Amino acid sequence: MLTGLALNRCSISVCRTAGTLLNRPTVSVVRSLKFSRRLIGNCSVAPADPFVVADDEKYGKKQVISLTPRLYDYVLSNVREPKILRQLREETSKMRGSQMQVSPDQAQLLAMLVQMLGAERCIEVGVYTGYSSLAVALVLPESGCLVACERDSNSLEVAKRYYELAGVSHKVNVKHGLAAESLKSMIQNGEGSSYDFAFVDADKRMYQDYFELLLQLVRVGGVIVMDNVLWHGRVTDPMVNDAKTISIRNFNKKLMDDKRVSISMVPIGDGMTICRKR
């Protein structure tokens, strides 16, 4: 009923927010959608304090923030995005496939993880135009190294141009080609357990393969971050069963039982799981 009312009276962006919340499993609709009466009666006013409350008592009816466009704008306004990253983001936004670029808040988190680890040797699987890899390279020490694996030559040229502009090309070892082959070659070259950090944002059907290879390359205590683990919410939709969605579902399930790593799934961007090798 709320969805129908929203469709008649509210903007598309608000409807999408309402629809997303209404479609979430294990959620009390009446208590969950904390939209104020102003939302329904006056479409010019954004949702007030929307949150989700789990139905099951075992969750303690914990109130969980659900990001509205207005609230996400606030999050982005609190991201310290270097000028060179902003320039790359704006250029990429005009390119085909720009939705593949990580968001500024994701890139900031990746950079902070690298700094907290004191990482010097990093890997990225799936570079696209280089926003996340540039964010990481910027915080690496001068002696640091980032292996950047990407198969698309056109997007890679954009990334390499920005590495140059940012003065970090000497830190980035670009590997053009299939990432799995590059990772296997690194293992064969004796680079096992010598990397501190890895980020994966590539072919979703290859996630388990990438993860297994990276576990061999990352040291104990090192971190592997997997992107798109929530896959636009499709992972929870039983009606969606395409190859990519199934692959991510299976990967997430296996990761839950994988005692080789400690994990934390973080609902930032399209969902990221942070894995620490034990």
* Rounded distance between C-alpha atoms, residue 51 and residue 68, angstroms: 10
Site of tokens 């698309």: 152
Task: Output the pLDDT for position 21.
Answer: 40
75-109 per-position pLDDT tens digit: 999 999 999 999 999 999 999 999 999 999 999 99
Is the per-residue pLDDT at 42 higher than 70? no
Task: Output the pLDDT for position 59.
Answer: 75
242-272 per-position pLDDT tens digit: 999 999 999 999 999 999 999 999 999 999 9
145 to 106, 191, 218: CA distances (angstroms): 20, 13, 14
**pTM over 0.85, yes/no:** no
273 to 76, 110, 208, 268: CA distances (angstroms): 20, 11, 13, 10
102-160 per-position pLDDT tens digit: 999 999 999 999 999 999 999 999 999 999 999 999 999 999 999 999 999 999 999 99
Q: Which helix (H) or strand (E) holds 226?
A: strand 218-227
Angle, CA 166 vertex, CA 168 and CA 134 arms, to 5° = 70
Banded pLDDT at 62 (limits 50, 70, 90): confident
If phi over 0 gives left and psi between -120 and 50 gives alpha, with beta otherwise, what is residue 48?
beta
194-235 per-position pLDDT tens digit: 999 999 999 999 999 999 999 999 999 999 999 999 999 999
Task: Output the pLDDT for position 50.
Answer: 65
Cβ atoms of residues 134 and 127 within 8 Å: no
Q: Which amino acid is at 165?
A: L
* Rounded distance between C-alpha atoms, residue 159 and residue 25, angstroms: 39
